[in-house]
Chains A and B, each alone.
Chain A
């Protein structure tokens, strides 16, 4: 239905994010009504169908849908009618999907243990667990990718071991014993264990000896200092864990961003914390982000109470 528009549109320079537009056009193909025949209610149904998990992505899909709609109208030389959503953007968030990529502190602790592999008394794949630890402690994908070994300093203060991590424009302090152990083991790790599959037997790969904290595995065709995308590595590692028994978590869909968001939700569940402080720590998040995340935290609290955990 949209083939004749898609190609030119994607090359026209109006499609700012080609990948997202391709997904969007794919969804439009599955939709039961041609975009030029849409009314507000159809836009409503379509946006809901996209199963977004944040206000930002709802907003992005809305803007992109309007841009494409405008383009199709121009090609067909018909009047473009700007369609409006009937509810606030939060209404279009797929809560079930969001909950399936939101972890609690307990889930986080379980995942750290599941990501590392113990073989003959030696712990492997701490690198994957370290990405999770950094994400939980508010580091984003670029922070993790660009972190060098020298950026981590370990010291003891008042009898307690602390790791101070220098990021581009701030410091992050980690004072949890288990998290510190993971970071230390990652620094010393030189082999990565690859679990077997139908096509390949389990085997070890060497980790490249570089200055980066999260190091890539040794391959013949790459001499990169850092890994390309830590979030993807985390995703891959978590998909091997599959799920935590007794939860509806979809670990295939996890990213550094979803772990960071989970941490915010976890903080918002704390009764003793001032929301303004959380906003301050997050820096870039605005009030509306915090508002909808607090609503999710209430929902999560309710679900956990129902489960009795």
Chain B
């Protein structure tokens, strides 16, 4: 659970209002983890201040992509553990995809030779 939910939402909203492109950034982060319908719902909830159902790691990722300075202040130590768990899974999957691409490139290179 976000320890300072209101302050976090306030900061995200402030940035998104200042630069409409950041609205897209928020949705794009959510789309990495959620289906289209759920990503859109999560974004609307977030801007309404309702962050209870949005996993903390996604909130952190949004904060990072929006370049919110000292974003850690909004999260508790417990959150940090959860973040590690989720990001590990997500990174592993994306790393796996990258490895496949690398392997394919190598094979293609060999075939080309």
Give A contacts to B, CB under 8 Å.
137-138, 150-151, 153, 155, 157-158, 162, 164, 166, 171, 173-176, 263, 267, 270, 272-274, 276-278, 280-281
Which residues in B have their C-beta under 8 angstroms from that of A281?
Answer: 27, 31, 36, 40
- Minimum C-beta distance from A133 to chain B (A): 11
Give B contacts to A, CB under 8 Å.
20, 23-24, 27-28, 31-41, 43-44, 55, 86, 89, 93, 96-97, 100
Option from A157, A158, A277 in Cβ contact (under 8 Å) with B40: A277
CB pair A173–B31 under 8 Å, yes or no, is yes
State whether A280 and B35 are in contact (beta carbons under 8 Å apart), knowing that A153-B96, A272-B44 are contacts in the complex. Answer: no
State whether A273 and B86 are in contact (beta carbons under 8 Å apart), knowing that A153-B96, A164-B93, A166-B97 are contacts in the complex. Answer: no
How far is B31's CA from A162's CA once the two chains are assembled, in angstroms?
A: 12
Which residues in A have their C-beta under 8 angstroms from that of B20?
Answer: 276
Which residues in B have their C-beta under 8 angstroms from that of A157?
Answer: 33, 55, 86, 89
DSSP majority for the A interface? Answer: mixed
CB pair A174–B41 under 8 Å, yes or no, is no
DSSP majority for the B interface? Answer: helix
| A/B pair count, beta carbons within 8 Å | 63
- Minimum C-beta distance from A66 to chain B (A): 37
Which 8 pairs show the lowest CB-CB distances between chains A and B? A280-B24, A175-B35, A153-B93, A277-B27, A272-B44, A273-B40, A166-B97, A173-B35
How far is B93's CA from A131's CA once the two chains are assembled, in angstroms?
A: 23
Which residues in B have their C-beta under 8 angstroms from that of A153?
Answer: 93, 96-97
- Minimum C-beta distance from A160 to chain B (A): 10
How far is B55's CA from A273's CA once the two chains are assembled, in angstroms?
A: 20
CB pair A274–B35 under 8 Å, yes or no, is no
How far is B39's CA from A171's CA once the two chains are assembled, in angstroms?
A: 13
The residue in chain B whose Cβ has the minimal distance to the Cβ of A263 is B36
Option from A171, A175, A263, A274 in Cβ contact (under 8 Å) with B44: A274
- Minimum C-beta distance from A147 to chain B (A): 13
Which residues in B have their C-beta under 8 angstroms from that of A267?
Answer: 36-37, 40
